[in-house]
Structure 1
Amino acid sequence: MTLCDHRGQVLSHTEKAWASITFAGTRHSVSLLFAGEEAVEAGEVFIAALPDHEFAIAGQLVADAGVSEVDHRILPDPRLVVHCELLLLEDA
């Protein structure tokens, strides 16, 4: 939430276990709502910054983070819905 200046509202979050031969972790799908002009601006900054953001999550490495879908509306009220996918690996 810091990445979007606490202007986003979590609409949904799902988590699925994920593993390969060498790694284990979880895949997260998150949908965020940004309502209002200032929130939409923060959401646009979030979209640009997410893929290269350096996360600091204890015991986890963020192997991949990206935006999978965006729904942007201007009328009647500005709003932005951002769907993100994150892959977190257990940091041994």
Structure 2
Amino acid sequence: MSAEPFQQTFRRPTRHRHSTNEPWARLLSDVLRLAGRGAELLHQAERLWASATFSGARHTIALAFEGEAIERGEAFIAALPDHEFTIPRHLVADAAVVAVEHRQAPSRLAIEVELLLLEDC
């Protein structure tokens, strides 16, 4: 599924409370739960996505892990592609790590992931 006629990006503030019933909020919550304790949310963005038969949104989420949490970050990288998300009336069609930056001093692992969340009608 490579057709991406909608390119508009929506950035959601991460400091304000939003309804966890919204699909993007459930997805973000699930990603943070999978990432585990010590994961720092750097940013989250969403852009609409559609093909001839499906519609939804592509989500970009950036996380950072420091010090001892780096091991959890490495485990997150391994677990994400096969993780079963449970978001009502939606399907995660693709989940991929698209960027990784590992620094030694100070010890830090930054990860950017993309997830394709489709409406399941």
Band of TM-score, shorter chain: over 0.9
Q: Does 1:81 align with 2:110?
A: yes
Deviation at 1:2, TM superposition (A): 1.6
Equivalent in the alignment of 1:47: 77
Letter in 1 for 2:117: L
Equivalent in the alignment of 2:7: none
Stretches of structure 2 lacking an aligned partner (at least 5 in a row): 1-31
Q: Does 1:56 align with 2:86?
A: yes
Equivalent in the alignment of 2:99: 69
Equivalent in the alignment of 1:32: 63
TM-score calculated relative to the size of structure 2:
0.71
Deviation at 1:80, TM superposition (A): 0.5
The 4+ residue runs of structure 1 with deviation greater than 6 A are none
User: Which gives a bigger RCO, structure 1 or 2 (Cα 8 Å, sep 6+)?
Assistant: 1
Give the structure with the higher percent strand. 1
Letter in 2 for 1:83: E
* Distance of 1:56 and 1:27 partners within structure 2: 17
* Distance of 1:26 and 1:4 partners within structure 2: 21
Q: Which SS does the other structure have where 1:85 is aligned?
A: strand
Percent identity, aligned pairs only?
A: 53
TM-score calculated relative to the size of structure 1:
0.92
Deviation at 1:82, TM superposition (A): 0.1
Equivalent in the alignment of 1:7: 38
Equivalent in the alignment of 1:18: 49
Stretches of structure 1 lacking an aligned partner (at least 5 in a row): none
Matched residues, number: 90
